Structure 1
Amino acid sequence: MSNSEFFIGRQPIMNRESKLYGYELLFRGGFDPNEAVFDSGQEATAAVIHNSMMGLGLESIVGQHQAFINFPESFFLSTETPCFSPDNIVVEVLEDVPPTEDVIEGIKVLKGQGYIIALDDFVFKKRLVPLIQLADIIKFDVQYVKPENIPALFTKVKQITNVKIIAERVETKEMFEVCKQAGADYFQGYFFAKPEVISGKQLNVGRHNLILLLEKISDDNLHIDQLIEIVERDVGLTHKLMKMAEQYRSLSMPEFSSLRDVMMLFGLKRVQSWATLVSMSILDDIVPEVFNLARTRAVFMRSLAQHEGHGAVDSYYLAGLFSMLDVILQQEMEDALKQLPINEEIKFGICKGENSYGQLLAIAKQFESASDHGINTDHVKLYMKALSEVNEVRF
């Protein structure tokens, strides 16, 4: 299969006026909104980030609202820079994460980088005071708490720090009113909405390329050009990196025209984190010939652009690589490209074929149709060279 279906659950979090504040994003392996079977919290978190940010795109799922994502202990012990932006992300510390010195230090680093910290399913214990002092938000599961005990519970933590409180599992109007009167700032539960499951299609990644990438990111002498060389071979890896970059790109930044643009924005440390996350959330895939055809177009169009004296030749590679997204994702091309933060000229060339990107793409397609009408001999040499290069490095 050239692409696979993914699922992600989301449940709204409302403010005191019953208006949307954010969504908790949940691991789901299918359409059942209440079923989540996974081997480890680390893998579940990786899947949620992968599916939300590199699948549909975070904005499509939460808009401009906050995205609450559960993180296990290992995340707070990692020295890697997170590959996702702190914008719109709330880092939920799972209830079984112990308040060790290393965990506390990891949370301090994240707060320094701008991440909002929430404590999930919180139960008050004296040893958790260091976590309370660092938290921006605390989530209380109120389902099994007696209504008369809730005000004292909320007051107790607010005496320690000026923290926001989310009342979780609010199932009835009566419980909503009790929690609201007790000082809760936000609310989550069946009274507002049950979790819903969103699904989509995502591009698979060639296992060989992923292994090469993981080998490179462990190299202390790694150079960004080495990463570009590996990522650009694979439509799936390139697409996922572009989708992740969408979350980082501010409105004042120009749209990307090449992988180098994205890599320079991310920096090596975030790219290393991104590659690790992708490896945790992707299964082995069989990649069909359509991926090799897209890569051949990319190599050929870059060579042809250089031959004809066009500038920014890497942008032609990107155009070729994404020129078959409609086939791979089984979408209209405009929809497939819509949420990618790439140059509008590239998108226009792929969709309309009326600028230099479209013209060079048309030449590539001429070879694919086995038409020899008016084919330039120099173009033949370049295309045969592109075929040879792609066949040397199979997915």
Structure 2
Amino acid sequence: MSNSEFFIGRQPIMNRESNLYGYELLFRGGFDPNEAVFDSGQEATAAVIHNSMMGLGLENIVGQHQAFINFPESFFLSTETPCFSPDNIVVDVLEDVPPTEEVIAGIKVLKEQGYMIALDDFVFKKRLVPLIQLADIIKFDVQYVKPENIPALFTKVKQITNVKIIAERVETKEMFEVCKQAGADYFQGYYFAKPEVISGKQLNVGRHNLILLLEKISDENLHIEQLIEIVERDVGLTHKLMKMAEQYRSLTMPEFSSLRDVMMLFGLKRVQSWATLVSMSILDDIVPEIFNLARTRAVFMRSLAQHEGRGAVDSYYLAGLFSMLDVILQQEMEDALKQLPINEEIKHGICKGANSYGELLTIAKQFESASDHSINSDHVKLYMKALSEVNEMRF
């Protein structure tokens, strides 16, 4: 299959005026969207990040609000640079993460990088004071606290540090009022809304390409060109990297014209983190024919652009690679491209067949349908070479 369906849960977090502050994003399995079955917290976190940021797109799930994502101990012990932006991600420290020196050091690094830190399902213990001092938000499951004890609990924590408090599992208006009077800043629970399950489709990734990428990123002498060579041969990897890049768009770089643009922005450390995340989330054994057709277009269009002396030849590769997203994702092409931070000229060429991108894409399509017998002989050689190159990519 060229794509697969995924599910992700979200539950709103409200402020004191009952306005939306953010969402907690929840892992949901692929077979039963209402179940949260996983082998480890690490895999669940990877799936949530992968599906939200490289699947639907974080903006489509939380808008401009905060996204709370649970992270296990291993995340705080890792030396990798997170591949996701700190702009609207709240790092939720799971309740079973021990306050070891290594964990504390990892959280301090994340704070320095601009990430907000929340402590999930918090139960007050003296040994957790170092965590409290680093936290921006503490979440209390108020179902485990007697209502008359809630004010003292919230006051005790706020005496240690100027932290915000989320009251979790608020299920009645009465509990909402108790927590509000006690000084809670935010609220989450069935009183406001049950978790909502949303679904989407994602591009699969060739297993061999992903393993090759993981091997390369561990090489101390790695060059960015080697990464580009691996990623650009796989539509799924390219699409996921572009979706992740959406978070880093800015006024100085509102769109990208090639994988090189994204790689240079990310840097090797962030690309390494991204590749690890993808590998923990999905591994697919099949490279479908539709992917090979997209890759053939990409290789041919770049070669033809180079042959004709056109500039920015890598952007033609990108146009060819994404020219079948509508088929792969089973969406209208405009919708499939809308959330990708790529050059508008590339999008226009793919959707409308206009401009230089559309021109070369049309030539590629003529070879596929054998609809034009007057095609330039140089074009024929380039297309046959592209076919041969893509055939060598198949695993």
Q: Deviations over 1:125-163 (max 9, x none)?
A: 000000000000000000131110000000010000000
Q: 8 Å contact 1:33–1:196 — kept in the other structure?
A: no
- Secondary structure at 2:143's aligned position in 1? coil
Cα gap change, 1:329 to 1:297, in 2 (>3 Å): same
Q: Deviations over 1:66-94 (max 9, x none)?
A: 00000000000000000001010000000
Cα gap change, 1:270 to 1:134, in 2 (>3 Å): same
- Secondary structure at 2:22's aligned position in 1? strand
Question: What's the offset of the Cα at 1:283?
Answer: 2.9
Unaligned 5+ residue runs, structure 1? Answer: none
Q: 8 Å contact 1:306–1:313 — kept in the other structure?
A: yes
Matches of 2:254 and 2:114, distance apart in 1? 23
- Secondary structure at 1:198's aligned position in 2? strand
Q: Say what the alpha-carbon RMSD is for the aligned residues.
A: 1.0
Q: 8 Å contact 2:168–2:188 — kept in the other structure?
A: yes
| Runs of 4+ off more than 3 Å | 30-34
Question: What's the offset of the Cα at 1:250?
Answer: 1.8
Q: Deviations over 1:323-357 (max 9, x none)?
A: 00000000000000000000000000000011000
- Secondary structure at 1:193's aligned position in 2? coil
Matches of 1:372 and 1:67, distance apart in 2? 51
Q: 8 Å contact 1:84–1:247 — kept in the other structure?
A: yes
Matches of 1:30 and 1:221, distance apart in 2? 38
Question: What's the offset of the Cα at 1:249?
Answer: 1.3
Question: What's the offset of the Cα at 1:316?
Answer: 0.1
Question: What's the offset of the Cα at 1:285?
Answer: 3.4
Question: What's the offset of the Cα at 1:114?
Answer: 0.1
Give TM-score, length-normalised by structure 1. 0.99
Cα gap change, 1:71 to 1:289, in 2 (>3 Å): same
Matches of 1:305 and 1:366, distance apart in 2? 16
Question: What's the offset of the Cα at 1:60?
Answer: 0.3
- Secondary structure at 2:6's aligned position in 1? strand
Cα gap change, 1:31 to 1:188, in 2 (>3 Å): farther
Q: Deviations over 1:211-240 (max 9, x none)?
A: 110100110111100000000000000000
Cα gap change, 1:368 to 1:34, in 2 (>3 Å): closer
Q: 8 Å contact 1:154–1:182 — kept in the other structure?
A: yes
Q: 8 Å contact 1:170–1:191 — kept in the other structure?
A: yes
Q: 8 Å contact 1:140–1:166 — kept in the other structure?
A: yes
Worse-superposed segment, 65-74 or 22-31 = 22-31
- Secondary structure at 1:202's aligned position in 2? strand
Q: Deviations over 1:362-388 (max 9, x none)?
A: 000000002342200000000000011
Question: What's the offset of the Cα at 1:291?
Answer: 0.2
Question: What's the offset of the Cα at 1:184?
Answer: 0.1
Give TM-score, length-normalised by structure 2. 0.99
Matches of 1:208 and 1:283, distance apart in 2? 9
Q: 8 Å contact 2:206–2:283 — kept in the other structure?
A: no
Q: 8 Å contact 1:33–1:195 — kept in the other structure?
A: no
Q: 8 Å contact 2:25–2:68 — kept in the other structure?
A: yes
Q: 8 Å contact 2:287–2:394 — kept in the other structure?
A: no
- Secondary structure at 1:7's aligned position in 2? strand
Q: Paired residue for 1:318? A: 318
Worse-superposed segment, 24-33 or 148-157 = 24-33
Q: 8 Å contact 2:8–2:52 — kept in the other structure?
A: yes
Matches of 1:314 and 1:41, distance apart in 2? 38
Matches of 1:290 and 1:30, distance apart in 2? 23
Question: What's the offset of the Cα at 1:32?
Answer: 5.7
Q: 8 Å contact 1:23–1:68 — kept in the other structure?
A: yes
Q: 8 Å contact 2:2–2:288 — kept in the other structure?
A: yes
Question: What's the offset of the Cα at 1:254?
Answer: 3.2
Count of residue correspondences: 395
Question: What's the offset of the Cα at 1:34?
Answer: 4.8
Q: 8 Å contact 2:34–2:197 — kept in the other structure?
A: no
Q: 8 Å contact 1:141–1:167 — kept in the other structure?
A: yes
Note if 1:236 corresponds to 2:239. Answer: no
Q: Paired residue for 2:99? A: 99
Unaligned 5+ residue runs, structure 2? Answer: none
Q: 8 Å contact 1:326–1:336 — kept in the other structure?
A: yes
Question: What's the offset of the Cα at 1:30?
Answer: 4.5
Q: Paired residue for 1:299? A: 299
Cα gap change, 1:307 to 1:33, in 2 (>3 Å): closer
Question: What's the offset of the Cα at 1:322?
Answer: 0.1
